[in-house]
Chain A
């Protein structure tokens, strides 16, 4: 249904904390130079990851959200140039994160710089480096990384509610769905919808509707677990993904969320609004053989049932499936 034509970004290595220190990989086989770099970089407010050879650096790169890489050109086996080439493989760019690369080189290797820049380095610095110069060059990288973080944030979160936007939500859904299959752990889905939202908008205006949506999103977020994902699926439809959550736990959580919305009125312009939500959900524990698209479609059906049954209620589907009932 709604999933048709939707591209799913299956892997995001993005650093979501916009103000967290920038992660800097240092690949330097000279221990002294490596320690000096590490210390300066830490002192300037970055988070250093020090590797003593190219192979180690590559391992760190693959397991950490590296944003800036300072690579020594001359290293045994995997040198800086080879690392550059590897980092610039299209599959790493697809994650939406450009790595800013600075090559470190000795003065007498200067003729190689063109080769380095052509292999994908953004900048270079000559050893032994002047700390002020390195700091300034790192600042150039920082500007690019910060801009990228901002763009990533805008491309990840819904501007009004601060929840995941639809595209990222579906990306996470795909990731969690694959993980549930791989690790054989149940995944649950709940689709929420604010009752009579259209009426609220028509009667009190869209600003009131927006404020209510924002507060509902905030309460839902608060009621979910740290590792759950919640995003704006449609106008006032919110989808939550609950990894490692079975049918029983899902029922409790969904009821608790509905209560969180209904128990206290939402204040807007000193007016109290009694808002309720309807929800439909299910766990893969009950439907082990359905595709992600089918699971979402079925949650939508459950939500529709909840609406038809008079709103302000939660319907969690149970296995009426010939294969269902056990995970």
Chain B
């Protein structure tokens, strides 16, 4: 593992904290991450629609929901960005919603890249 990845790790996923939360079982973590990845796609496409239609309450709800599942898996960056989306929805701030939607996708890509390089994740594939 290169050093760059390692230093990125706590920002993408705080492994010690999530493992503590779920009782230390990596197989279970993989199961949960799969649910997360699957649900994320749906939520993001709903979020894109909500942004196009300037449907702020939906933006707020989806932001809240992504924030919640990210927090459960200690996906710190995704959690923080999702919180900003929730806030943008609450404050009906379209510019901010668009900006953070892009940041959300970037953060998600970082998670995926991180997982691809992860030995324990590869083992489960």
A→B interface (CB under 8 Å) = 30-33, 35-36, 39-40, 43, 74, 106, 127-131
B72 A30 Cβ-Cβ under 8 A: yes
Pairwise interchain contact A131-B71, C-beta atoms closer than 8 A = no
Across-interface contacts of A43 in B (CB, < 8 A): 23
- Mark the stretch among B3-11, B29-37, B47-55, B117-125 that contacts chain A: B29-37
Given the known A-B contacts A30-B68, A30-B69, A32-B69, are A131 and B32 also in contact in the complex, defined by CB atoms under 8 Å?
no
Map CB proximity to A onto B67-107 as digits: 1 under 8 Å, 0 otherwise.
11101111000000000000000000000000000000000
Q: Is the Cβ of B28 less than 8 Å from the Cβ of A128? A: no
Does B116 count as interface, using CB distance less than 8 angstroms?
A: no
Provide 13 A-B residue pairs closer than 8 Å at the C-beta atoms, listed in order of the A residue.
A30-B68, A30-B69, A30-B72, A31-B35, A31-B39, A36-B22, A39-B23, A40-B22, A43-B23, A127-B71, A128-B68, A128-B72, A131-B22
- The CB with the most chain A CB atoms within 10 A, among B36, B72, B73, is that of B72
| A122 to B72 Cα, complex, angstroms | 24
Interface size on B, residues (CB 8 A): 19
CB pair B65 A30 closer than 8 Å? yes
Beyond A33-B69, A43-B23, A131-B20, 13 additional pairs, beta carbon < 8 A: A30-B65, A30-B68, A30-B69, A32-B36, A32-B39, A33-B72, A36-B21, A74-B64, A127-B68, A128-B71, A131-B21, A131-B22, A131-B23
Q: Smallest Cβ distance from B124 to chain A, in angstroms? A: 16
State in angstroms the CA–CA spacing of A249 and B63 once bound together.
65
Asked if A128 and B21 make an inter-chain contact with CB atoms under 8 angstroms apart, the answer reads: yes
Partner of A32, one of B23, B32, B64, B67: B32
A106 to B31, CA, bound (A): 23
Cβ contacts under 8 Å, A36 to chain B: 21-22, 32, 72
Shortest CB distance A53–B (Å): 13
Is the CB–CB distance between B35 and A35 below 8 Å?
A: yes
Contact of B22 among A31, A39, A74, A127 (CB under 8 A): A39
A74 to chain B, nearest CB (A): 7
User: A32 and B72: CB pair below 8 A?
Assistant: yes
Inter-chain contact B31/A35, CB cutoff 8 Å? yes
Closest to B22 in A: A36
B70 to chain A, nearest CB (A): 9
Please give, as numbers and ranges, the residues of chain B lying within 8 Å of A39 by CB-CB distance: 22-23, 28
B73 cross-chain contacts in A, Cβ below 8 A: 32
CB-nearest residue of chain A relative to B28?
A39
Whether A35 lies near B23 (C-beta < 8 A) is no
Contact A35 B21 (CB under 8 A): no
B94 to chain A, nearest CB (A): 22
Q: Could you say which residues of chain B place their CB within 8 Å of the CB of A128?
A: 21, 68, 71-72, 74
CB B88 to nearest CB in A, in angstroms, measures 15
Give the CA-CA distance A74 to B63 in the complex, in Å: 13
Which 10 residue pairs of A and B lie closest in terms of their CB atoms, listed nearest first? A128-B71, A32-B69, A32-B72, A128-B72, A30-B68, A33-B72, A32-B32, A31-B35, A30-B69, A36-B22
Most chain-B CB neighbours within 10 Å: which of A31, A32, A74?
A32
Q: Which of B20, B32, B68 contacts A106 (CB 8 A)?
A: B68
Docked-complex contact A32 and B21, CB < 8 angstroms: no
Q: Which residues of chain B have C-beta atoms less than 8 A from A127's C-beta?
A: 68, 71-72
